[in-house]
Amino acid sequence: MDSNNTSAALARPNLRVRLQAWWAGVSEPRRRHLKGLLIYLLLLLLAFSKPLIYLVGYTLRTELHSHVPLIPFVSAWLLSINQDRLPADYRRSSGWALCWALAGLAMLVLAWVLPSMVTKVSHNDSFGPVIFSLICFIYAGAFFFLGSGWMKQAIFPAFFLIFMIPLPDPLVRLMEAASQHASAEATNWILHISGVPWLRDAENPMIFHFPGLSLRVAEECSGAERIALFWL
């Protein structure tokens, strides 16, 4: 039994062997494009290393955004399983690359002027423009080194990176309020058919009065984290 498992493991090539075999089949022009993209991404990550470190530390301390550090790995996995569908002919799309680069610069400018435009900017909202800028620059590099044809086939894994951007606080509050009211309406419907004596507060529809007891549908019942995960 053990010998069979060992033989099967030896027969199955590991990741390093598969990568070497794949690289050996890559033509020299494609290698230049891939090397250029790799160097570009390394420099980009180095330039954004400080906000990325802050982002990881921040998201690991919040339940709502705890998924953010996993997004790049999920995107890379989606690319790997669809590798055979991606075009092998890389043709630069300088126009699209320039558009995304300009968008990235605009997001950096927004991140710089946002504190002066808004009196109080939370750490959560300050990350948004910076991370969006990083994603725009990643798209710019992909268009420049791999081309629009490649990006068209990889559109879902590429744009999945958008979920690295933390949800803005106003949007989170809107989601919480909407879900809180939905929970209150569901409670109201259930009480209607249950036959339990109750009275809904006229001034605050989140409060339900029972004989000797009053209950309130709190913000914690909104389930903003579950909504965000469901969206993913």
Read off the pLDDT of residues 181-225 as tens digits, 9 standing for 90 and up: 777 888 788 887 887 787 787 778 888 888 878 877 776 555 555
Integer Cα distance of 207 and 218 in angstroms:
9
**Does residue 1 form part of some domain?**
no
**Does residue 6 form part of some domain?**
no
Q: Quick one: how many helices (H) and strands (E) in the chain?
A: 11, 3
Where residue 154 falls (left for φ over 0; alpha for ψ -120 to 50; beta otherwise) is: alpha
Domain that holds residue 152: 28-166
Tally of structural domains, the chain: 2
pLDDT tens column, 146-192: 999 999 999 999 999 998 888 877 777 777 777 777 778 887 888 87
Q: What's the confidence (pLDDT) of residue 19?
A: 60
**Does residue 145 form part of some domain?**
yes
Where residue 109 falls (left for φ over 0; alpha for ψ -120 to 50; beta otherwise) is: alpha
Integer Cα distance of 158 and 140 in angstroms:
11
